[in-house]
Amino acid sequence: MENPPVKVTDITDKLGGNLPLDRQIKLGDAKLDQIVNTLLNPIKKAIKGAYLLEWEGGKIPRGAVVGDKTLAWTQNGFAHGEDGRMVGTYDRIVEFGGANKQKQIMVVYLD
């Protein structure tokens, strides 16, 4: 199955504006949420680039080239490269939106 094309826009110059850098991860367990968010906060402060990703289809922008990284998967607020290493974090802005319920939008923050 071919991955859908992902439109990637560098929005690094807009960091700190209206981007949801302070959005907290909610996994359904308050104690775990606190641990994950405590770990993520320093990573978000060390951001080297921010990219807006837009596509139609499944939740994962697999194969999208973001900065100098190619994404393999995104899950629980973490973005992973092809080698399996974490390359940054993300905030999902739209999930299964739009008229056809296939629109996906997220912001990926590379570290």
* 40: helix, strand or coil: helix
Mean pLDDT, the chain, integer: 85
In the chain, where the domains are located: 7-110
Q: Which amino acid is at 33?
A: D
Query: If you average pLDDT over residues 1-7, what whole number do you get?
Result: 78
**Predicted confidence band of residue 23 (pLDDT cuts 50, 70, 90):** low
* In the chain, % of residues over pLDDT 90: 45
Residue where the block lists tokens 């802005």? 93
How many angstroms separate the CA atoms of 80 and 70, rounded? Answer: 8
pLDDT of residue 1: 55
pLDDT of residue 60: 94
The phi, psi pair for 43, rounded to 5°, reads: -65, -45
**Predicted confidence band of residue 12 (pLDDT cuts 50, 70, 90):** confident
22-26, 64-68, 96-100: range with lowest mean pLDDT: 22-26
